[in-house]
Structure 1
Amino acid sequence: MRGKLKLVFMLLFASTFVFILSACGKDSAGETDEDGNWKGKITIWDGPRWAQEGDTSGEEGKGNQYFWLEGKIEAFEKSHPGVEIELIKVPWAELPDKLGVNIAGQSWPDIAPVDISGSAVSIDHIDQGVIEPLDDFFTEDELKDFYENALDAYTYDGKLYGIPNSLTVHSMLLNLDLFKEAGVEPPANGEWTWDEFLDTAKKLTFDRDGDGKIDVYGFSTYILPGYYEAWPFFYMNGGQPLSDDLTEFTFDSPEAIESIQALADLKLVEEAAPVSMGGADVGGTFQAWANEEQRTVAMEPWATWAITSTQSSYPTNFMVANYPTGSTGEPVTIGGVGGWTMFHQESDAKKEVVAEFMKFISSTDEQYLMSKEYGIFPARISAAEKEPFADNPEMARAQEMSSQVVMLPRHPEWKKIDEIIQRELQLVFNGEKTAEEAMATAKPEVEALLQK
């Protein structure tokens, strides 16, 4: 009897969900005219991007950071009479929670962005049936124009769920003034092995004023949930946190353990990093590298934003380098892929127009423009080939690393998994546990989440 009741409940729930999907779509489905042209309203969400040069209007004098998308909307509406596109402005920090609430209330937008720090389209949203696949709107040749790792971030179960628009990478930033002060040569072409990096870090650790105390350290970074500047080091010997099928915890492999311990020992054994390395002070770590009044760390890994910040707010004589290579011989970095997703549509005619607009704002020219103005890297190869950073060698060097990017695991429980791993990593860098002990502690907790 209990089994029959459960079956009836599941059927009722499924029917209700389908009904709600249908009801949600009818109000915004629009209509098709005699010529087969769809007319109606499209809703798009987006976060602030960049303002026009010289625009100091608005909150905190930042200018209108939505003008680019507003212009694209106006152009599209002019070429598609009867189509209205409503822009809903959402701060990036609020977007994930707001989207979750609206999905729960069956009131999602037609188009929403994937924040570049989120790395990939949400599997949860796909499994809930609220994100549309876009395979029918791209030819094979069109898809070849996207970097393979960018497409992978938007592909699930063999289908494409979104349009990759931009990439960001983590890279090594080297303070060349400190290299010169210590009489150390930076790596040729920004490429080096782990042994070369280690030797460089030790040489850059020195007593500047002769008082017997170290004033400058070779390297530093921090360990904190949601931040991955240190993680490419952990991948350098072929390790990764989860298996490819996301069913096993693999940061306890010999390759991962060796890499984690090696970076921790840079501080604990070699003393080529400050005591603060491995803590949670993001701002203080950056200031120690970039602030002219400090400059106590010669090398730090950062995401792309730090390059533009160093070129403006914190002028620094620096260069961009790869993360050092380990036993794989291949440089690896971690990055994010921003883009656009389409939410569930009842009308095929509307779906085509929504897809057309998404492609309109993700073209080669638009990705090139966004790269130059917004400081990210294009997901399209054709946009990269237009050399958006021809006049910015540091950004151009970082852009070369786009093909090295690996994505974080796309497990629905990743946030909890990440918190467990980062907690244990902090203990390793504090010298309270070895990498092997820490990952042994993390393993059963993570695998309990993987088995959900």
Structure 2
Amino acid sequence: MRKRAVAILLAAAVMSSMISGCGSTKERVNKDGESVITIWSPSDEPAIEEWWEEKIAAFNEEHRGEIHLKREAIVRADSYAYEDKVNAAITSKDLPDILYVDGPTVSVYAANDIIQPLDDMFTEADWNDFLDSTKNQGTYDGKIYAIGATESSVALFYNQDMLDEAGIKAPDKLEDAWTWSEFAEVAEKLTKDGVMGTNIIMDKGEGIPYVLEQFWISGGTDLVSEDGSKADGYINSEAGVEAATFLNGLIQNGYANLDPIQKEFHNKRAATMLGGSWEVATLEKDYPDLNWGVTYFPVADNGGIPTSPTGDWAAAVTRDTQDKDAVKEVMNYLFSADNVTTYAKAISKPPTRQSSYDVLTEYNEYPRSLFKEQLMETGHPRPRTPSYSVLSAGFSEAMVNIFTGVDPKEALDKVAEDTDKDYNKYYAQED
């Protein structure tokens, strides 16, 4: 492989790293002679911050005199604040020991030798307990580089009252999932009286590839090749253009909004919604009077592949760590069956360990059981390519452009060209 340029992660990081110096300033051993292990992860809601405080305190008490664990919670109000800090630390050789990264960025960090493989970090029994979707997300070039405590999925939420009024029954078995044509017919019937038939846009950034990539997969292709080296012939293939055209039809026919109002489904302004597994807790807590249900992610016509998104933030061990034994102790603590279970409970997301579902029995009952089933049976992570940042931004822009009138093939060709140009410049094998 060619020598990777770390600067490709974020252009802005180049300038910040130039003023960061080149020597590590991170504390490695404290005054008590304890090996100091540092974690960086995004700040989260109070319940999760409390979880971190409790678990770190318990770990430090148990390992007093040997290891001291500390965490820096980094606010992500500015979407690039976290990445800017990471990239500045890359050049200054001041990375934390354990770095939390979003699922699709694992390949970028792994390809640039910023994080280390984790294959020897856990026992075989532990690895077997982690969901395949989670291990797949963290895999690059045949090795696992990151592991998380929680997963995610997306399914089709629906307003039960609106479906009843229209005489529509939602599928309750995976093999009966609505096809694209059936989904469009349902959206058409439900679009009336100021209510949209569906909501397909989580946001105009990362939400677009996270959710809409599944239409490419169901149609028999993907945004890039399996090894992540090529976008041309995949994202812009005949099947890819068909997927984009179908989605555009939902917008152009008035069944979905390009700019949906906030909480469009929750506020009864959309009859259905492609929504994340985390929406279950939100609807139960904040919208107790809304009569809703959830069914499977739609599949392509004519024998389409059942599929659904997966992925979440995961922990990686950086190249700058100096005490791998201590890091291994921390990783085994953080991702023990008990801690994965309690973390998943606190954040209201599906756990990544199969054994956790023996404790979190709510995932054996509808509606959470549907998301568990999708994770086990139909889950696909976002593309594992070191050129993901180019692909993701380009795909989001292309889909918005398509929804506003640009020819689908033209828009997707541009994404393919830009993605392949980036990959060939930085990651393609030399002749």
Q: TM-score range by the shorter chain?
A: 0.7 to 0.9
Q: For the Cα contact (< 8 Å) 1:237–1:256, is it kept in 2?
A: yes
Counterparts in 2 of 1:238-277, with a 5 A limit?
A: 238-249=220-231, 250-268=234-252, 271=253, 273-274=255-256, 277=257
Give the aligned partner of residue 325 of structure 1: 299
Q: Deviations over 1:173-230 (max 9, x none)?
A: 1111211222322223473222332332222233x4xxxxxx3332232372321333
The answer to whether the aligner puts 1:198 opposite 2:184 as a matched pair is yes
Distance 1:198 1:138, change over 3 A: same
Distance 1:366 1:451, change over 3 A: same
The answer to whether the aligner puts 1:379 opposite 2:379 as a matched pair is no
1:29 Cα deviation (Å)? 5.8
The answer to whether the aligner puts 1:287 opposite 2:263 as a matched pair is yes
1:346 Cα deviation (Å)? 6.0
Distance in structure 1 (CA, Å) of the matches to 2:180 and 2:411: 23
The answer to whether the aligner puts 1:180 opposite 2:171 as a matched pair is no
Higher deviation after alignment, 295-304 or 218-227: 218-227
Distance in structure 2 (CA, Å) of the matches to 1:423 and 1:390: 36
The answer to whether the aligner puts 1:343 opposite 2:322 as a matched pair is no
1:165 Cα deviation (Å)? 1.8
Give the aligned partner of residue 405 of structure 1: 379
1:153 Cα deviation (Å)? 1.8
Which consecutive residues of structure 1, in runs of 5 or more, have no partner in the other structure? 1-19, 53-64, 209-214
Give the aligned partner of residue 408 of structure 2: 435
Q: For the Cα contact (< 8 Å) 2:228–2:386, is it kept in 1?
A: no
Distance 1:328 1:450, change over 3 A: farther
Give the aligned partner of residue 331 of structure 2: 358
Q: For the Cα contact (< 8 Å) 1:320–1:398, is it kept in 2?
A: no
3-state SS in 1 of match to 2:116: coil
Distance 1:421 1:112, change over 3 A: closer
Distance in structure 2 (CA, Å) of the matches to 1:296 and 1:307: 18
Q: Deviations over 1:72-97 (max 9, x none)?
A: 22222222231222222222453322
Q: For the Cα contact (< 8 Å) 2:153–2:379, is it kept in 1?
A: yes
Distance in structure 1 (CA, Å) of the matches to 2:30 and 2:263: 53
3-state SS in 1 of match to 2:46: coil
Distance in structure 2 (CA, Å) of the matches to 1:146 and 1:361: 13
Between the two proteins, the alignment pairs up a number of residues equal to: 391
Higher deviation after alignment, 167-176 or 155-164: 155-164
The answer to whether the aligner puts 1:78 opposite 2:61 as a matched pair is yes
Distance 1:449 1:133, change over 3 A: closer
Distance in structure 2 (CA, Å) of the matches to 1:174 and 1:39: 53
1:273 Cα deviation (Å)? 0.6
1:150 Cα deviation (Å)? 1.0
1:441 Cα deviation (Å)? 4.0
TM-score when scaled to structure 1? 0.78
Task: Give the counterpart letter for 2:183 in structure 1.
Answer: F
1:27 Cα deviation (Å)? 5.9
Q: For the Cα contact (< 8 Å) 1:205–1:216, is it kept in 2?
A: yes
1:131 Cα deviation (Å)? 1.9
Distance in structure 2 (CA, Å) of the matches to 1:218 and 1:242: 31
Give the aligned partner of residue 122 of structure 2: 138
Give the aligned partner of residue 47 of structure 1: 42
Give the aligned partner of residue 231 of structure 1: 213
Counterparts in 2 of 1:23-38, with a 5 A limit?
A: 24=24, 28=28
Give the aligned partner of residue 216 of structure 1: 195
Q: For the Cα contact (< 8 Å) 2:40–2:99, is it kept in 1?
A: yes
Q: For the Cα contact (< 8 Å) 1:334–1:407, is it kept in 2?
A: yes
Q: For the Cα contact (< 8 Å) 1:203–1:218, is it kept in 2?
A: yes
Q: For the Cα contact (< 8 Å) 1:145–1:380, is it kept in 2?
A: yes
3-state SS in 2 of match to 1:188: coil
Counterparts in 2 of 1:54-203, with a 5 A limit?
A: 65-82=48-65, 83-93=67-77, 94-114=81-101, 118-120=102-104, 122-189=106-173, 191-203=177-189
Distance in structure 2 (CA, Å) of the matches to 1:227 and 1:85: 33
Distance in structure 1 (CA, Å) of the matches to 2:398 and 2:85: 31
Distance in structure 1 (CA, Å) of the matches to 2:418 and 2:147: 34
1:388 Cα deviation (Å)? 4.6
The answer to whether the aligner puts 1:334 opposite 2:309 as a matched pair is yes
Q: For the Cα contact (< 8 Å) 1:167–1:335, is it kept in 2?
A: yes
Distance in structure 2 (CA, Å) of the matches to 1:111 and 1:150: 18
Query: How much identity, in percent, do the aligned residues show?
Result: 24
Whose RCO is larger (CA < 8 A, sep 6+)? Answer: 2
Q: For the Cα contact (< 8 Å) 2:229–2:385, is it kept in 1?
A: no
Q: For the Cα contact (< 8 Å) 1:121–1:161, is it kept in 2?
A: no
Distance 1:192 1:248, change over 3 A: same
3-state SS in 2 of match to 1:378: coil
3-state SS in 2 of match to 1:336: coil
Give the aligned partner of residue 16 of structure 2: none
Q: Deviations over 1:339-376 (max 9, x none)?
A: 211223564xx311211111111111212212222011
The answer to whether the aligner puts 1:311 opposite 2:284 as a matched pair is yes
1:148 Cα deviation (Å)? 1.5
3-state SS in 1 of match to 2:382: coil
Give the aligned partner of residue 16 of structure 1: none
Distance 1:26 1:103, change over 3 A: closer
Q: For the Cα contact (< 8 Å) 2:95–2:320, is it kept in 1?
A: no
RMSD across aligned C-alpha pairs, in angstroms? 2.9
Distance in structure 2 (CA, Å) of the matches to 1:136 and 1:178: 52
Q: For the Cα contact (< 8 Å) 2:156–2:294, is it kept in 1?
A: yes
Distance in structure 2 (CA, Å) of the matches to 1:120 and 1:446: 15
Q: For the Cα contact (< 8 Å) 1:345–1:351, is it kept in 2?
A: no
1:449 Cα deviation (Å)? 2.4
Distance 1:106 1:259, change over 3 A: same
1:410 Cα deviation (Å)? 3.0
Which consecutive residues of structure 2, in runs of 5 or more, have no partner in the other structure? 1-20, 426-431
Distance 1:196 1:360, change over 3 A: same
